[in-house]
Amino acid sequence: MKSFISSLILTAALWVSIPMSAQRPMNERVHDKVATKEAPRIQFVGKKQGPNLFQSAAASVTADFSCQSAGSAVTVWEEDFDDGTDGWTFTNAEDFSWTVKKITSTTDPSRDFSTYDPDDVQSLYIEGPYQSFKRGIAMATSGQIDVPANAMLKGYIGFTQNMDDYCRLQISVSADAFETSEILWNSVDEDGEKPWRWHEFSVSLEKYSGQKIQIRFTYGPGKNDSFGTGGYMGDFAIDGLKITGVSTVEQVEAATGEVIAFADMSSGSPTAWQWSFPGGTPSTSTDQNPRVFYTRDGVYDVTLTVSNADGSDTKTRTGFVKVTGSAPLAQILPPATFRFSETRLPMVAPLVGVQYRDNSTNYPTSWEWTFDGVDPEPYARVTSHEENPIVGYSYMHKQGVSLRVENEHGESNDTVEVSVEYSGLITNLEPGDRAATFDLEDRGTFPGTNKLNITAYAEKFSKPSRPILVFGAYVYFVSASAASITDQIADVGVHLYTSENGLPGKKLDSMWWRVFELETPSGSSLTATEFEFDPTVIDDEFFIVVDGIPEKNDSVDVSFAMADFRDHGNTAYMLKDGEWRDVSTYFPAGANHTSYMIMPSIVHSVMSPMPVDREPLVVGKAAGTVKYPFYSIYGYETPIRSDAEWCRVVGKPNGLTLDTLQISYDRLPDGIEERVATLTVSDSISTYDIKVTQNVNGVSSIEKVTEEKASIYPSVFNSEFIVRVPENTRSISVLDEGGREVYRQHVDSQARLVTVDASAWAPGTYFIRVVGKHEITVVKGVKR
């Protein structure tokens, strides 16, 4: 990001004399855009318009604004410790103290701060002792500093996150000599690569505008020190400190998606703010210092109205924001990201609508999706130009999806394959993942027995493409040995949890096996241990949690498998010291992502009329009964609920996945033109509504004469049967009760009889799909 700056003149008199006011630096088929995860650093080059760092109190308000940026930033205080530590006060620990030193390393040049400051001489530095009994607390406190409006404290701190258990560093600020204080930054909150490196920080001082403050760095206890005794082991280096204010700029340039931190620079002590950002997100704000981003190229105005008891004022900067995008990078987000265990491809439900989402970056403006297995015609492809299309699969198993996205800067493509399945075991294991455990040396095995106070393990599964029933989970244990009776009979539990804020939330169901009952490998093959649940409905992200594994000692070894560490796609969590943690944030950077070998057993809720795209059910005024072919992989509950007494389902279920509902309705009363009833079918997982419209112009089933679309003979067969097909039939396919296709044949458009060889099929019920030019007919047959 750039800004255009005019000249800026600051004088010492201006700094001392002018007081400051407080400042403070983002159904059918159309859905919200999946947010990208980009927030590049904002840079500006531009013209400064009259500096106004320290605002004067006026009788009436005057609106003005700028934004936080490199181009608009004005440094009012800085400290690099190259000339020593004059003005700083140090409170040292008994066995270690603050010092200044040149940070260098012959093996890791990135430790040298000259990477950031070529003229660097030295940094403020502290290193704790290696003995825990020498742990302590040490503080470095600055002298007093005047804070301008919209101030930011910036700098660099070098450390390794691998020492967080033993020590931490905090930055705090006080305006009353630390009678009271506020923590601005804590090393525990940093993320990214864990080895020693320089961490750049930037924190707001806007609430201290116009005050004199002191900054304090505190070296203190780490995560494992529950008594707050002090820190040890780790070291911290501090350099490049500065406090900046903000000047006005003429224009700011930003890339699409970049967050612009607007800064109120109004005078006269306003008490209310109303911002307008045409084309921005959000488009309006009442915050004093809002954050906004733009998704489309263009030049945009910004307007600020400020007010207080004395009046109001409005400032509009025409063309203040210039936004330029870049070519999109296509990415498909499947309806569910967990995978079918047999193919390790994302698993989605068949037949019913499932939604794909565009997860591309750089804000495309057009989309072209291509789907295999959706069109009833074999090998035909379906295209969509929607951003987040909904499709229903006509065919099972592996199917391809492609996406082409464009904007004015270019185009990009992505392809994925999915597994279309009714039910099965699901996993987060990717193709190529190998079963492994991680050796913690004398501290145990991960995941398994350990001395690190890791007491539970959780595997996260995405929201399913359709509601599911979870029947249980299979866990692949690698070892389960124990010498003591206490450890042998320890209960190892597997639990189904909801997800709350991306972590395990409420426990829904559980099952336990004792250590000696767990399945262990036979040779080099892993055997899963089954943990059965009461069937539980899930329609959101969820977790499977493993706990109860005994703590490590010399005679116990219990562990289960995970995917060998990789550099992406972590779905594994652990409960360490009573807190859930993403595994990838704990192990050293690089290949530190994994998934546990935990496989829930699920079935999708799939309910649909047959054919799927059949027209709405409309009947005439006379009483009657209409047949309604209906498919449900998990059956349906009876009686089927009706919201109208005049309409009901009669008869009993046939016990098969494809049934013919007998919908009975009374005569339409005289004087009523039309009425509508809703029949709600439930499979205990989800519901499906059948709308029945009765009107005076409808054709009742007892009056309607239709010819048979397709039929088979005999309907109960041994080795073969004949399918009678209507004109313009394109193909015949046969599915078993599990939805697996066992037969497919193209049909000549003039053919009327097709003989099907079923000699190799297992006994059972089969569904024959006859695909015509405009519709699909499904008939049922049984092999003895």
- Tell me the C-alpha to C-alpha distance, in Å, between residue 411 and each of 177, 637, 684, 701: 57, 49, 45, 53
How far apart CA 764 and CA 761 sit, in angstroms, is 9
Per CATH, the homologous superfamily of domain 2-26+36-72+248-324 is Immunoglobulins (2.60.40.10)
How far apart CA 403 and CA 417 sit, in angstroms, is 12
In tens, the pLDDT along 190-221 reads: 987 788 999 999 999 988 988 999 999 999 99
Ranking 52-56, 140-144, 343-347, 643-647 by mean pLDDT, the lowest is 52-56
**In terms of residues, how long is the chain?**
784
Per mean pLDDT, which of 56-65, 205-214, 219-228, 544-553 is the most reliable? 544-553
SS (H, E, C) 457-521: EEEEECCCCCCEEEEEEEEEEEEEEECCHHHHCCEEEEEEEEEECCEEEEEEEEEEEEHHHCCCC
**711-783 — its CATH code?**
2.60.40.1220
pLDDT classification of 707: cutoffs 50, 70, 90: very low
Domain boundaries defined on the chain: 2-26+36-72+248-324, 76-243, 332-421, 469-604, 607-695, 711-783
Task: Report residue 495 as tokens.
Answer: 């639990």
Per CATH, the homologous superfamily of domain 332-421 is Immunoglobulins (2.60.40.10)
Ranking 84-93, 243-252, 447-456 by mean pLDDT, the lowest is 243-252
Judged on CB neighbours under 10 Å (0-12, 13-18, 19+), 776 is: buried
Indicate the DSSP class of residue 40: P
Could you give phi then psi for residue 425, rounded to 5 degrees? Answer: -90, 140
Options 3.40.50.720, 2.60.120.200, 3.40.50.620, 3.20.20.140; which CATH number does 76-243 get? 2.60.120.200
Architecture per CATH, 607-695: Sandwich (2.60)
Q: Check for a shared fold between 332-421 and 607-695.
A: yes
Contact 315, 304 (CB under 8 A): yes
**pTM of the complete model:** 0.75
In tens, the pLDDT along 602-629 reads: 999 999 988 777 778 999 889 999 989 8
Indicate the DSSP class of residue 441: G
Share of the chain above pLDDT 70, in %: 90
- Tell me the C-alpha to C-alpha distance, in Å, between residue 600 and each of 362, 506, 529, 683, 746: 36, 17, 11, 20, 38
Strand partners, 529: 475
3-class DSSP assignment, residue 773: coil
Longest dimension (CA), the chain: 103
Q: Which residues of 465-496 are buried (b: 16+ CB within 10 A; e: fewer)?
A: bbbbbbbbbbbbbbbbbbeeeebbebebbbbb
SS (H, E, C) 585-610: HCCCCCCCECCECEEEEEEECCEEEC
Tokens 């250590």 — which residue?
515
Q: Which H or E element spans position 446?
A: strand 445-446
In tens, the pLDDT along 116-145 reads: 999 999 999 999 999 999 999 999 999 999
Contact 195, 589 (CB under 8 A): yes
500 residue type, one letter: E
